[in-house]
Amino acid sequence: MSPKTERETVKGILDQFDRKIVEELLKAYPTKTPSAALKHRSDFPPPGPEVGADTIPRGVMESRSIIERIIGDSNFLPAAFLEEGVLRQKAVARLPKVSSSNPLGDPWGSGFLVANSLLMTNNHVIGSVAEAKTIMAQFNYQIDLNGVAQPIDTWSLDPDNFFYTDAALDFTLVRVKAKGIIWPLSPTVVSPSGGEAAMLEVMSMIGAAAEAGPTIPIGPPLFASRYPGWKWGHLQLPKSAITYSSGQLLNVIQHPAGRMKEVALQENEVTHIYSNRIHYTTDTEGGSSGSPVLNNAWDLVALHHAAGDWDAVNNRWIDNEGMRIDSIVQHLRTQFALSRPSLLTELGI
């Protein structure tokens, strides 16, 4: 037996009401079972049924809920959407050109960590090793709930360690230069014979040192490297296929025009899907190049890189364009499967 459509479910509830009213209400509901692609637009499951008030009969409450709750497509998301968004935004960095005369840097682009020490942006933002050496990655360039500017965490790039770029897919992957830390540890902890438990203890101490900063050792020291991903996290590249659908809602975390970090949420729909690109109505500005494009589950789906289509009749931009992240992942797999498989392991793909 095929599942009931939303229209059939609504009709069953409303049959007790005046037929003319029911017919008018049902015009707003599709006659076919929603496709998997359409269901994907929400990405998160619905938060659950509303609890009715005791003073209102159940049948009336349910009918009111259906009549009043949804205006067009449902915009409901679980509260965890906000919590996860807070975590995801930490991995996004402003990429300025920094000089001694301007330590904050000239606005240039955006980027984001895809591993503890690997940053992704556009080829047109960082197109060469020489250019990468002029760019810094600034994390936490944003304000807090009280409107207070936060301490900026600035990192140099290390293209001599790793740098790869592709103009056709307009992406660049570059290593972030490590910062050294010193932490006093006992000889038994740093000994290779300490096993996995000892290594976990070492990593825990290194993580604490990363938060506290360099420390003067009082015993046998451990010299180690720390990377920005330990503190700010990273956005995981997809391991499997991504479903793109017209009308799917997207979110972009960015540094538009080099400003402090901003987000464009929800009213941003996919308009066109191509083999290596997608178009969407999300707002961006110069400086947003290299920003992550994410769905409502905060999964990475594209790398923003440019404006999309131009409406010559009305003299306006219609949408923006991002490179499909699944195309980038496939390119990396093809490029490094044999020559550098450890990179794919580091990226989790």
Q: Which helix (H) or strand (E) holds 232?
A: helix 229-232
Residue 264 banded pLDDT, cuts 50, 70, 90: confident
219 against 82, higher pLDDT: 82
**Helical H segments across 90-183, by residue range:** 129-132
Q: In the predicted model, what is the mean pLDDT of residues 129-137? A: 95
User: What is the value of pTM for the model shown?
Assistant: 0.69
Characterize 134-166 residue by residue with b for buried, 16 or more Cβ atoms within 10 angstroms of its Cβ, and e for exposed: bbbbbbbbbeeeeeeeeebbbbebbbeebbbbe
The pLDDT, as a whole number, for residue 52 is 46
End-to-end Cα distance, the chain: 40
Q: Which helix (H) or strand (E) holds 326?
A: helix 325-336
The pLDDT, as a whole number, for residue 288 is 80
244 against 63, higher pLDDT: 244
CA angle 69–279–314, rounded 5-degree value:
90
Give per-residue pLDDT as tens, 22-62: 566 555 554 443 333 333 444 555 555 554 444 444 444 44
The pLDDT, as a whole number, for residue 301 is 94
Give per-residue pLDDT as tens, 56-90: 444 444 454 444 444 456 667 788 888 999 999 99
- Residue 117, pLDDT > 90, answer yes
Let me know: does 279 contact 321? Beta carbons within 8 Å.
yes
Q: Please state the domain extents for the chain.
A: 81-178+227-349, 179-226
- Residue 338, pLDDT > 90, answer yes
Could you list the beta-strand ranges (E) of 21-91.
none
Give per-residue pLDDT as tens, 269-282: 888 888 899 888 86
Q: In the predicted model, what is the mean pLDDT of residues 131-157? A: 93
Whole-angstrom Cα distance, residue 33 to residue 38? 10
3-class DSSP assignment, residue 173: strand
CATH class of 81-178+227-349: mainly beta
Of 176, 175, 100, 96, the closest CA to residue 136 belongs to 96
Query: What tokens does 115 get?
Result: 């591993």
The pLDDT, as a whole number, for residue 216 is 46
Composition of the chain by helix, strand, coil, percent to 5: 30, 25, 45
Residue 183 banded pLDDT, cuts 50, 70, 90: low
216 against 326, higher pLDDT: 326
Give per-residue pLDDT as tens, 275-319: 899 888 866 665 688 999 999 899 999 999 876 666 666 666 677
